[in-house]
Amino acid sequence: MSEMKKIKNLKEFSTSADRFEGANLLCPGCAHSIIVREVLNATNDDLVLSASTGCLEVCTAVYPYTSWDASWIHIGFENGSTAVAGAEAMHKALKNKGRLKQPDRNPKFVSFAGDGASYDIGFQWISGCMERGHNIMHVVLDNEVYANTGGQRSSSTPIGSSSTTAPAGRVSYGEKKNKKDMVSIMASHNIPYAAQVAPNKWKDMVKKIQHGFSVDGPVFINAVSPCTTEWKFDPKDTMMITDLATDSLVFPLYEIIDGHELNITYRPKNVVPVEEYLAAQGRFKHLFKDQYKYLIKEWQERVDANWSYLNRREEARV
Protein backbone atom coordinates (compact mmCIF):
# COMPACT_ATOMS: atom_id res chain seq x y z
CA MET A 1 0.00 0.00 0.00
CA SER A 2 0.90 3.66 -0.10
CA GLU A 3 3.83 4.74 1.92
CA MET A 4 3.23 8.23 3.31
CA LYS A 5 5.87 10.21 5.06
CA LYS A 6 5.50 11.00 8.73
CA ILE A 7 6.56 14.61 9.00
CA LYS A 8 6.83 16.24 12.39
CA ASN A 9 7.92 19.77 11.66
CA LEU A 10 8.92 22.17 8.93
CA LYS A 11 12.65 21.68 9.52
CA GLU A 12 12.33 17.94 9.06
CA PHE A 13 10.15 18.51 6.02
CA SER A 14 12.52 20.97 4.37
CA THR A 15 15.56 18.76 4.90
CA SER A 16 14.03 15.41 3.91
CA ALA A 17 15.44 13.68 0.85
CA ASP A 18 14.43 15.36 -2.39
CA ARG A 19 13.58 13.89 -5.74
CA PHE A 20 13.31 17.41 -7.10
CA GLU A 21 16.73 19.04 -6.97
CA GLY A 22 17.39 22.59 -5.90
CA ALA A 23 19.54 22.92 -9.01
CA ASN A 24 17.04 24.43 -11.42
CA LEU A 25 16.52 27.64 -13.37
CA LEU A 26 13.33 28.90 -11.73
CA CYS A 27 13.33 32.55 -10.62
CA PRO A 28 14.44 33.29 -7.08
CA GLY A 29 11.25 33.47 -5.04
CA CYS A 30 9.22 31.29 -7.43
CA ALA A 31 6.63 29.29 -5.54
CA HIS A 32 6.59 26.47 -8.10
CA SER A 33 9.60 24.69 -6.63
CA ILE A 34 8.21 24.96 -3.11
CA ILE A 35 4.91 23.40 -4.18
CA VAL A 36 6.56 20.63 -6.21
CA ARG A 37 8.80 19.76 -3.28
CA GLU A 38 5.84 19.66 -0.89
CA VAL A 39 3.92 17.36 -3.23
CA LEU A 40 6.85 14.99 -3.80
CA ASN A 41 7.87 14.94 -0.17
CA ALA A 42 4.41 13.76 0.87
CA THR A 43 5.21 10.21 -0.20
CA ASN A 44 8.06 7.73 -0.17
CA ASP A 45 6.51 5.80 -3.05
CA ASP A 46 7.98 5.79 -6.54
CA LEU A 47 6.84 8.54 -8.84
CA VAL A 48 5.96 8.91 -12.50
CA LEU A 49 5.80 12.64 -13.16
CA SER A 50 4.98 14.90 -16.04
CA ALA A 51 5.25 18.61 -16.62
CA SER A 52 3.35 20.45 -19.30
CA THR A 53 5.28 23.06 -21.23
CA GLY A 54 5.79 26.05 -18.98
CA CYS A 55 8.11 27.57 -16.39
CA LEU A 56 8.54 24.34 -14.43
CA GLU A 57 9.36 22.33 -17.52
CA VAL A 58 11.79 24.74 -19.20
CA CYS A 59 13.60 25.38 -15.92
CA THR A 60 14.15 21.78 -14.80
CA ALA A 61 15.01 19.67 -17.85
CA VAL A 62 17.41 21.58 -20.06
CA TYR A 63 19.60 19.02 -21.82
CA PRO A 64 22.05 17.67 -20.72
CA TYR A 65 20.78 18.40 -17.20
CA THR A 66 17.75 17.36 -15.24
CA SER A 67 16.45 18.40 -11.83
CA TRP A 68 14.34 15.25 -11.51
CA ASP A 69 15.50 12.17 -9.62
CA ALA A 70 12.29 10.34 -10.58
CA SER A 71 10.69 9.16 -13.81
CA TRP A 72 9.61 12.30 -15.65
CA ILE A 73 8.11 13.17 -19.01
CA HIS A 74 7.25 16.30 -20.93
CA ILE A 75 5.41 16.07 -24.25
CA GLY A 76 3.75 19.41 -24.95
CA PHE A 77 1.76 22.29 -23.56
CA GLU A 78 -1.67 20.67 -23.42
CA ASN A 79 -1.09 16.99 -22.81
CA GLY A 80 0.94 16.45 -19.62
CA SER A 81 -2.10 14.97 -17.90
CA THR A 82 -2.64 12.48 -20.72
CA ALA A 83 1.07 11.59 -20.68
CA VAL A 84 0.85 10.26 -17.13
CA ALA A 85 -2.56 8.76 -17.88
CA GLY A 86 -0.90 6.76 -20.69
CA ALA A 87 1.87 5.68 -18.32
CA GLU A 88 -0.71 4.72 -15.71
CA ALA A 89 -2.55 2.62 -18.30
CA MET A 90 0.73 0.89 -19.18
CA HIS A 91 1.41 0.22 -15.51
CA LYS A 92 -2.01 -1.39 -15.19
CA ALA A 93 -1.46 -3.48 -18.33
CA LEU A 94 2.00 -4.69 -17.30
CA LYS A 95 0.82 -5.40 -13.76
CA ASN A 96 -2.00 -7.59 -15.07
CA LYS A 97 0.41 -9.30 -17.43
CA GLY A 98 3.00 -9.86 -14.71
CA ARG A 99 5.67 -7.91 -16.56
CA LEU A 100 6.54 -5.12 -14.10
CA LYS A 101 10.25 -4.96 -13.33
CA GLN A 102 9.49 -4.04 -9.72
CA PRO A 103 6.06 -5.55 -9.08
CA ASP A 104 6.12 -4.76 -5.36
CA ARG A 105 6.17 -1.00 -5.92
CA ASN A 106 3.14 1.26 -5.68
CA PRO A 107 3.97 4.22 -7.93
CA LYS A 108 2.13 7.54 -7.91
CA PHE A 109 1.32 9.28 -11.18
CA VAL A 110 1.41 13.07 -10.97
CA SER A 111 1.17 15.73 -13.67
CA PHE A 112 2.21 19.31 -13.01
CA ALA A 113 0.95 22.12 -15.21
CA GLY A 114 0.49 25.85 -15.03
CA ASP A 115 -2.88 27.57 -15.15
CA GLY A 116 -2.48 28.25 -18.88
CA ALA A 117 -1.78 24.54 -19.49
CA SER A 118 -4.71 23.54 -17.25
CA TYR A 119 -7.46 26.17 -17.41
CA ASP A 120 -6.93 26.93 -21.12
CA ILE A 121 -5.00 24.83 -23.62
CA GLY A 122 -4.96 21.57 -21.63
CA PHE A 123 -8.53 21.83 -20.32
CA GLN A 124 -9.95 19.12 -22.58
CA TRP A 125 -7.11 16.69 -21.88
CA ILE A 126 -7.49 17.09 -18.10
CA SER A 127 -11.27 16.73 -18.33
CA GLY A 128 -10.76 13.52 -20.32
CA CYS A 129 -8.34 12.14 -17.72
CA MET A 130 -10.70 12.98 -14.87
CA GLU A 131 -13.73 11.50 -16.64
CA ARG A 132 -11.93 8.24 -17.50
CA GLY A 133 -10.97 7.61 -13.91
CA HIS A 134 -7.21 7.24 -14.28
CA ASN A 135 -5.33 6.83 -11.03
CA ILE A 136 -3.48 10.12 -11.44
CA MET A 137 -3.10 13.45 -9.67
CA HIS A 138 -3.10 16.68 -11.65
CA VAL A 139 -1.52 19.62 -9.84
CA VAL A 140 -2.03 23.13 -11.18
CA LEU A 141 0.73 25.59 -10.35
CA ASP A 142 -1.69 28.49 -10.49
CA ASN A 143 0.12 31.79 -10.95
CA GLU A 144 -2.82 33.25 -12.84
CA VAL A 145 -0.84 34.18 -15.94
CA TYR A 146 1.24 32.77 -18.82
CA ALA A 147 4.47 33.49 -17.00
CA ASN A 148 6.78 31.42 -19.19
CA THR A 149 5.89 33.43 -22.30
CA GLY A 150 6.17 36.73 -20.50
CA GLY A 151 2.92 37.50 -18.72
CA GLN A 152 -0.14 37.05 -20.93
CA ARG A 153 -3.64 36.66 -19.46
CA SER A 154 -5.12 33.20 -18.99
CA SER A 155 -8.65 32.25 -17.94
CA SER A 156 -7.22 32.11 -14.41
CA THR A 157 -6.16 35.78 -14.49
CA PRO A 158 -8.23 37.76 -11.99
CA ILE A 159 -10.24 40.92 -12.66
CA GLY A 160 -8.23 44.12 -12.53
CA SER A 161 -4.75 42.64 -12.87
CA SER A 162 -2.48 44.02 -15.55
CA SER A 163 -0.97 41.49 -17.97
CA THR A 164 0.75 42.00 -21.32
CA THR A 165 -2.36 41.03 -23.30
CA ALA A 166 -4.85 42.66 -20.93
CA PRO A 167 -2.73 45.58 -19.80
CA ALA A 168 -3.86 48.43 -17.59
CA GLY A 169 -3.65 51.64 -19.54
CA ARG A 170 -4.99 55.13 -19.90
CA VAL A 171 -8.52 53.87 -20.48
CA SER A 172 -8.39 50.29 -19.13
CA TYR A 173 -8.00 48.68 -15.71
CA GLY A 174 -6.63 45.49 -17.29
CA GLU A 175 -8.35 42.11 -17.03
CA LYS A 176 -12.14 42.34 -17.36
CA LYS A 177 -13.17 38.74 -16.69
CA ASN A 178 -13.42 36.83 -13.46
CA LYS A 179 -11.19 33.82 -12.82
CA LYS A 180 -12.55 30.44 -13.93
CA ASP A 181 -13.62 28.21 -11.00
CA MET A 182 -11.52 25.24 -12.01
CA VAL A 183 -11.81 23.31 -8.72
CA SER A 184 -15.60 23.21 -9.00
CA ILE A 185 -15.46 22.25 -12.67
CA MET A 186 -13.13 19.37 -11.92
CA ALA A 187 -15.08 18.29 -8.84
CA SER A 188 -18.15 18.17 -11.09
CA HIS A 189 -16.51 15.24 -12.87
CA ASN A 190 -17.38 13.42 -9.61
CA ILE A 191 -13.76 12.57 -8.98
CA PRO A 192 -12.88 11.24 -5.54
CA TYR A 193 -10.88 14.28 -4.53
CA ALA A 194 -10.37 17.91 -5.54
CA ALA A 195 -8.70 20.53 -3.39
CA GLN A 196 -7.18 23.98 -3.34
CA VAL A 197 -3.83 24.28 -1.56
CA ALA A 198 -1.21 26.90 -0.81
CA PRO A 199 2.50 26.38 -0.16
CA ASN A 200 2.51 28.47 3.05
CA LYS A 201 0.03 26.08 4.66
CA TRP A 202 2.31 23.10 4.19
CA LYS A 203 0.64 20.81 6.73
CA ASP A 204 -2.72 21.35 5.04
CA MET A 205 -1.04 20.77 1.68
CA VAL A 206 0.70 17.54 2.73
CA LYS A 207 -2.49 16.22 4.31
CA LYS A 208 -4.40 16.86 1.10
CA ILE A 209 -1.71 15.40 -1.15
CA GLN A 210 -1.51 12.31 1.04
CA HIS A 211 -5.29 11.98 0.94
CA GLY A 212 -5.11 12.36 -2.84
CA PHE A 213 -2.52 9.59 -3.06
CA SER A 214 -4.66 7.32 -0.89
CA VAL A 215 -7.82 7.42 -3.00
CA ASP A 216 -8.54 5.29 -6.04
CA GLY A 217 -9.13 7.50 -9.07
CA PRO A 218 -8.28 10.92 -10.41
CA VAL A 219 -7.33 13.79 -8.12
CA PHE A 220 -7.28 17.49 -8.96
CA ILE A 221 -5.20 19.94 -6.94
CA ASN A 222 -5.14 23.70 -7.52
CA ALA A 223 -2.08 25.25 -5.86
CA VAL A 224 -1.72 29.02 -5.62
CA SER A 225 1.76 29.88 -6.85
CA PRO A 226 2.67 33.55 -6.39
CA CYS A 227 4.86 34.72 -9.27
CA THR A 228 7.45 37.24 -8.27
CA THR A 229 8.00 38.28 -11.90
CA GLU A 230 4.44 38.73 -13.11
CA TRP A 231 2.70 39.60 -9.86
CA LYS A 232 5.52 42.05 -9.30
CA PHE A 233 6.73 41.66 -5.73
CA ASP A 234 10.14 41.26 -4.12
CA PRO A 235 11.40 37.62 -4.36
CA LYS A 236 11.91 37.50 -0.59
CA ASP A 237 8.18 38.16 -0.08
CA THR A 238 6.76 34.99 -1.68
CA MET A 239 5.53 33.52 1.58
CA MET A 240 4.22 36.88 2.79
CA ILE A 241 2.19 37.23 -0.41
CA THR A 242 0.94 33.65 -0.04
CA ASP A 243 -0.10 34.42 3.54
CA LEU A 244 -2.06 37.41 2.28
CA ALA A 245 -3.68 35.24 -0.42
CA THR A 246 -4.93 32.65 2.05
CA ASP A 247 -5.69 35.00 4.94
CA SER A 248 -7.63 37.47 2.80
CA LEU A 249 -9.63 34.45 1.54
CA VAL A 250 -8.81 35.37 -2.06
CA PHE A 251 -7.48 31.78 -2.13
CA PRO A 252 -9.62 29.88 0.36
CA LEU A 253 -8.32 26.44 1.24
CA TYR A 254 -10.89 23.68 0.90
CA GLU A 255 -11.48 20.22 -0.49
CA ILE A 256 -14.35 18.52 -2.32
CA ILE A 257 -14.73 14.78 -1.77
CA ASP A 258 -16.55 12.68 -4.36
CA GLY A 259 -17.77 15.80 -6.14
CA HIS A 260 -20.12 16.92 -3.39
CA GLU A 261 -18.70 16.91 0.13
CA LEU A 262 -17.03 20.28 0.61
CA ASN A 263 -14.81 20.93 3.62
CA ILE A 264 -13.12 24.21 4.40
CA THR A 265 -9.69 23.25 5.72
CA TYR A 266 -8.31 26.60 6.84
CA ARG A 267 -10.11 29.41 8.66
CA PRO A 268 -7.82 32.41 9.25
CA LYS A 269 -7.94 33.72 12.80
CA ASN A 270 -7.66 37.26 11.51
CA VAL A 271 -9.07 37.77 8.04
CA VAL A 272 -7.01 40.32 6.14
CA PRO A 273 -8.78 42.87 3.89
CA VAL A 274 -8.45 42.02 0.19
CA GLU A 275 -7.03 45.53 -0.31
CA GLU A 276 -3.85 44.49 1.52
CA TYR A 277 -3.41 41.50 -0.80
CA LEU A 278 -3.88 43.71 -3.87
CA ALA A 279 -1.65 46.50 -2.54
CA ALA A 280 1.29 44.12 -2.11
CA GLN A 281 1.50 43.36 -5.86
CA GLY A 282 2.51 45.55 -8.79
CA ARG A 283 -0.03 43.91 -11.10
CA PHE A 284 -2.84 45.62 -9.17
CA LYS A 285 -1.07 48.96 -8.62
CA HIS A 286 -3.36 50.91 -10.98
CA LEU A 287 -6.45 49.87 -8.98
CA PHE A 288 -5.42 52.33 -6.32
CA LYS A 289 -6.05 55.30 -8.60
CA ASP A 290 -9.23 57.13 -7.65
CA GLN A 291 -11.23 56.08 -10.70
CA TYR A 292 -10.64 52.37 -10.05
CA LYS A 293 -11.04 52.19 -6.29
CA TYR A 294 -14.59 50.90 -6.78
CA LEU A 295 -12.99 47.74 -8.17
CA ILE A 296 -11.26 47.09 -4.85
CA LYS A 297 -14.63 47.30 -3.13
CA GLU A 298 -16.08 44.89 -5.69
CA TRP A 299 -13.11 42.56 -5.13
CA GLN A 300 -13.88 42.44 -1.39
CA GLU A 301 -17.57 41.79 -2.08
CA ARG A 302 -16.72 39.00 -4.48
CA VAL A 303 -14.36 37.33 -2.01
CA ASP A 304 -16.92 37.66 0.80
CA ALA A 305 -19.63 36.18 -1.40
CA ASN A 306 -17.41 33.24 -2.37
CA TRP A 307 -16.48 32.57 1.25
CA SER A 308 -20.13 32.64 2.20
CA TYR A 309 -20.91 30.26 -0.68
CA LEU A 310 -18.20 27.81 0.44
CA ASN A 311 -19.46 27.94 4.02
CA ARG A 312 -23.02 27.30 2.94
CA ARG A 313 -21.89 24.35 0.82
CA GLU A 314 -19.91 22.93 3.71
CA GLU A 315 -22.86 23.28 6.05
CA ALA A 316 -25.30 21.78 3.59
CA ARG A 317 -22.86 18.93 2.69
CA VAL A 318 -23.36 19.51 -1.03
Partner 1 sequence: MAFDKMELRDIEVWDGNFAAAQALRQCQIDVVAAYPITPSTPIVEGYAKFLADGYVEGEFVMVESEHAAMSGCIGAAAAGGRVATATSSQGYALMVETLYQASGMRLPIILNVVNRALAAPLNVNGDHSDMYLGRDSGWIQLDAYCPQDAYDLNFIAFKVAEDHEVRLPCMVHQDGFMTSHTAQGVKTLTDDEGYGFVGDFKPMNDMLDFEHPVTHGVQTEEDWHFEHKARQHNDLMTKVMPKIQAAFDDFEKLSGRKYNIVEKYDMDDADVAVVCMGTSVETAREVATEMRAKGIKAGVVGIRVIRPFPFMQIQEALKGAKAIATLDRSAPGGTVGMLFNEMAGCLYNLETRPMLSGKIYGLGGRDLTKKHLVDLFTELQANVDAGKITTPLQQFIGVRGPKLSFL
Q: Which stretch binds partner 1 (CB under 8 A): 2-10, 32-40, 79-87, 239-247?
A: 79-87
By CB under 8 A, residue 68 contacts partner 1: yes
Q: Which stretch binds partner 1 (CB under 8 A): 55-63, 184-192, 251-259, 277-285?
A: 55-63
Cα–Cα dist 207/6, whole Å: 11
One residue of 39, 84, 241, 244 binding partner 1 per CB under 8 A: 84
Q: Which stretch binds partner 1 (CB under 8 A): 5-13, 32-40, 78-86, 208-216?
A: 78-86
One residue of 2, 12, 28, 62 binding partner 1 per CB under 8 A: 62
Q: Which stretch binds partner 1 (CB under 8 A): 31-39, 96-104, 163-171, 203-211?
A: 96-104
Please, which residues bridge with residue 20 across strands? Answer: 68
8 A C-beta contact, residue 61 and residue 68? yes
Are β-strands 108-114 and 254-257 bridged in parallel, bridged antiparallel, or unpaired?
Answer: unpaired
User: Shortest Cβ distance from residue 103 to partner 1 (Å)?
Assistant: 10
Helix (H, G, I), strand (E, B) or coil at 309: helix
Cβ closest to partner 1, residue 53 vs residue 157 = 53
8 A C-beta contact, residue 186 and residue 126? yes
Amino acid identity at 72: W
Cα–Cα dist 313/318, whole Å: 5
By CB under 8 A, residue 43 contacts partner 1: no
- Residues 158-194, buried b or exposed e (16+ Cβ, 10 A)? bbbbbbeebebeeeebbbeeebbebbebbbebbbbbb
Residue 93 burial class via C-beta count within 10 angstroms: exposed 0-12, middle 13-18, buried 19 and up: exposed
One residue of 58, 240, 257, 272 binding partner 1 per CB under 8 A: 58
Number of Cβ within a 10 Å radius of residue 105: 11
Cβ closest to partner 1, residue 66 vs residue 306 = 66
One residue of 57, 230, 243, 247 binding partner 1 per CB under 8 A: 57
The radius of gyration of the chain's CA atoms, rounded to the nearest angstrom, is: 19
User: Shortest Cβ distance from residue 82 to partner 1 (Å)?
Assistant: 4
By CB under 8 A, residue 75 contacts partner 1: yes
By CB under 8 A, residue 243 contacts partner 1: no
Cβ closest to partner 1, residue 90 vs residue 271 = 90
Residue 212's φ and ψ, nearest 5 degrees, are -60, -40
Cα–Cα dist 42/206, whole Å: 6
Interactions with partner 1, residue window 128-187 (CB under 8 A): 128, 131-132
One residue of 90, 271, 305, 318 binding partner 1 per CB under 8 A: 90
- The residues that touch partner 1, with contacts defined as CB under 8 A, are 46, 48, 50, 57-58, 61-64, 66, 68-76, 78-79, 82-94, 96-97, 99-102, 105, 107, 124-125, 127-128, 131-132
